[in-house]
Structure formats: C-alpha cells, structure tokens
Amino acid sequence: MADAEAIKRVAQRIVAQKKAGHDVVVVVSAMGDTTDELLDLAEQVSPMPPARELDMLVTAGERMSMALVAMAIENLGYEARSFTGSQAGVITTSLHGNAKIIDVTPGRIQEAIGEGAICIVAGFQGVSQDTKDITSLGRGGSDTTAVALAGALNADACEIYSDVDGVFTADPRVVPTAQRIPQISYEEMLEMAASGTKILHLRCVEYARQYNIPLHVRSSFSQKPGTWIVSEVEESEGMEQPIISGVSHDRSEAKITVVGVPDKVGEAATIFKALADAEINIDMIVQNVSAVSTSRTDISFTAPKEFGKVAVSALKKVQEKVGYDSLRYDDKIGKVSLIGAGMRSYPGVTARFFDAIASSGTNVEMISTSEIRISVIVEEDQVDAAVQAAHSEFQLDADQVEAVVYGGTGR
C-alpha cells in the first residue's frame, strides 16, 4: 500500500469480499517506504541498533497501515477492527528480526468475526512466547502471518495480494511468452519457491501445506483470478495434468569447489560440519573424481552469495585437517530448474531438458534432482537462454497453449 488512495482501494476490495458473504480477516503490510524510512531513522540513531528495539520500531509500520485500513472500511459503512500481531495471538520464538511463528491463538479475532466485524491484522509481527516482547518475522513474514492465521481460523482460503497476477510458468522478464499457472500443487510451489520463484516465501507455502489451506496468489491491481496453490490440482475437462508446471531460475547463489579432497571416509562430513557450524545454508552438492589426482575427489556445492566469504573462511580453517588441495569460488553462476509433478511418471523429461539446454549452447556445470524437479547450474550469462529453451521445449509458451488458459479446452 503506497498512500491514502491505495488504502481506500484496498478497503473497497475488502468490503467487496464481505458483501459477497465471506467473513474476512485481512493481514496488512506497511505502507510504501515506511519500513525503509524507519530503518533509516534507526541507522541515524545507532550503527548497530539492538534487535529488540528494531522490532519495536519497524512493527509500528504495520500498526499504522492496519489502523488506516480499518478506518477506511468503517468509512464505507462496515465495521472493522484492527489487531497487532500480539493481539491477534501470533506467538513466536524470541529471535528478533527473524522470529518463527510457534502458535496462533486468535481468540480476539474469532470474537470480532462473531460480532460481524472485518478484522485487520498487522503482518510481519508477533509476540515472543518467553519474553512477551514484540517480534518481527523476517522475510515473507506478512504472507506467513496470513497463512498461519488462516490455518488457526480454519479459513476456506487465503488470498495473497501482490503486484503480480499470479505464479507464471517462468519469469516474464526472461520469457515474455510465460503464462499464469491457474493451479499448482503445494509441492510444486515449494520447489519453485526454493529454486528462485520469488512470488511466495518458502515458509508461507510450507504453512499452507501443513494446514491444507488453499492459497490464491493474485494481483491487488486487478480483479482477475491468479494462481491457486492447492493439495490436488483439479484435472480440467478430463485432460491430464501437464508434465511440467514451470521453469524457474536463481542468480543469488555462488558455487564453491573443494579441489582434491582425499578419498577417505568422513572427509565430506568434516567439510559440511564446518559449513553448518558457520550457519551456511547449502543448496546443491556434487562430488566428482578429481581432475588433480585419481585418489582424490572434488566436492562442489552452492550457497547464497551473501555467505560466500564466510563459507570460504570456514573451509580454510579445516584445510589442514581435511588435507584438500585448494578452493575455487565462482559467483558468476545461475541455477535453472524445471518443476512439474507430472515428471514422476515421464522418464524422458530429464533427457528432453538437457537436450533443450544443450541446443541453446549452454554448458551444464552441476545437476541435482528431486521427484518433481531437475536443476542445473550454468554460467550466469547463459541463464536466460537456458530458461527460454526449456520453457519452449515443454510447450509452456503462450502462443502454444493460449486456448488452455483462456478457453479452458486443453490441459
């Protein structure tokens, strides 16, 4: 929400849902630049603001927007009541700035709903179970609040509004012919979120799956349906589900190779123990016979670029113990992933994916797979070509399947 006008639009949208006969609970984020402005103020006051106080400060942003939304709704003639995370019963761990929701006890919300009020809840925040301090939930916190509340309230659905029309078969900035996916399973969405699709945060989808809450990701700027994320994708008009749901990519990781690791039991464990102790999230791991010596192996892994330096220094500390030869660090890489629940029963998918990538002139550096995903690491400037090739290979382009999306005759 950018300003007062945006808040009034949001209020109209909420009232429309209420008019349609639904009980409505809305989770709001802060307006426009509010959070950044508050962080900027904090920085002016203290170079290293204490996390507890930073949470006190930034959670004021949602508090302002929730009160304004409630006012705007009342101005349209409907009863509205706003609640802070704490008032809404969002109980969290006490890790300020990145707290996790432990439980939601929405007694006050239920009471207000019972009285016919529309409830407006501040997203991104809760109250810690131990210290009763105000906490913020970190990235994806508003969406996660919405899903957790929907779970606790046994809601029919949870709608997530953003500036995009839904989840697409690929990033439309890379593949202009990418299309909105009408329905996708939790598992596929989790794989997409984990492999670079930024629409929803992983935590939020995990919550939705856990409580089996249908999610509807849609645009706050239009009335068009978006993407439904559900446990079982409905088969439309007797047609089978598509093999592939989409292609996602991620440029946020770096590849680190530990060259010449002695081929002995426990060496890999030592390496990954050192990385775990430094709290580095590892994504893909590949082990090869080393180019240096046949009695040695190379171990490559990827991790977020922001942890690159920490990872390298953690590994240098165990170089003597492990006895590896050297480290190679490459942050000019990208990950391209093909996601689809249908690929389980189609063994040819992997081959078609590699073919497509090869025909785009892209070299594959690492591979990892799950039941419903294949990911490859390629050079950073070949990501777009690889994504486009895969998208086209699996007939996801709009000109090929337009009838499916808008006519409902295919798929």
Cβ distance to a second copy smaller for residue 44 or 345? 44
The tokens describing 203, both together, are: 């935590």
Of 54, 299, 356, 383, the one binding a second copy (CB under 8 A) is: 54
44 is a site residue for a second copy (CB under 8 A): yes
DSSP 11: H
CA distance 102 to 84: 17
Q: How far is the CB of 177 from a second copy (least distance, A)?
A: 41
CA 173 to chain centre: 18
| Sign of the torsion angle spanned by Cα atoms 80, 81, 84, 85 | negative
Q: How far is the CB of 110 from a second copy (least distance, A)?
A: 14
Task: Please report, to the nearest 10 degrees, the dihedral formed by the alpha carbons of residues 284, 394, 204, 33 taken in order.
Answer: 100
3-state secondary structure of 300: strand
88 is a site residue for a second copy (CB under 8 A): no
Cβ distance to a second copy smaller for residue 42 or 113? 42
Binding-residue pattern over the window 294 to 333 for a second copy, x denoting contact by CB under 8 A: ----------------------------------------
118 is a site residue for a second copy (CB under 8 A): no
End-to-end CA distance of the chain: 36
276 is a site residue for a second copy (CB under 8 A): no
Burial class (CB in 10 A: 0-12, 13-18, 19+), 172: middle
Across-strand partners of 405?
none
66 is a site residue for a second copy (CB under 8 A): yes
Element (H, E) at 81: strand 80-83
Q: How far is the CB of 42 from a second copy (least distance, A)?
A: 6
Cβ distance to a second copy smaller for residue 8 or 391? 8
80 is a site residue for a second copy (CB under 8 A): yes
Cβ distance to a second copy smaller for residue 145 or 388? 145
CA distance 101 to 379: 38
CA distance 7 to 303: 39
Binders of a second copy: how many residues, by CB under 8 A?
39
φ and ψ of 191, to 5 deg: -65, -40
Closest Cα to residue 220, out of 344, 19, 69? 69
Burial class (CB in 10 A: 0-12, 13-18, 19+), 94: middle
50 is a site residue for a second copy (CB under 8 A): yes
7 is a site residue for a second copy (CB under 8 A): yes
Of 20, 21, 48, 266, the one binding a second copy (CB under 8 A) is: 48
The window from 17-25, 38-46, 157-165, 204-212 that contacts a second copy (CB under 8 A) reads 38-46
Of 64, 286, 367, 405, the one binding a second copy (CB under 8 A) is: 64
The tokens describing 366, both together, are: 């690492």
Cβ distance to a second copy smaller for residue 50 or 408? 50
Of 17, 87, 110, 241, the one binding a second copy (CB under 8 A) is: 87
Distances (CA, A) of 398 to 140, 151, 176, 181, 402: 30, 35, 9, 11, 5
Angle formed by the axes of helices 51-75 and 4-19, nearest 10°: 60
Report the site for a second copy in 122-161 (rule: CB under 8 A). 132, 134
74 is a site residue for a second copy (CB under 8 A): yes
41 is a site residue for a second copy (CB under 8 A): yes
67 is a site residue for a second copy (CB under 8 A): yes
Q: How far is the CB of 354 from a second copy (least distance, A)?
A: 53
Alpha helices in 86-136 (DSSP H): 107-114
Cβ distance to a second copy smaller for residue 133 or 187? 133
The residue ranges that bind a second copy (CB under 8 A) are 4, 7-8, 11, 38, 41-42, 44-50, 52-54, 56-57, 59-60, 63-64, 66-68, 70-72, 74-75, 80-82, 84, 87, 108, 132, 134
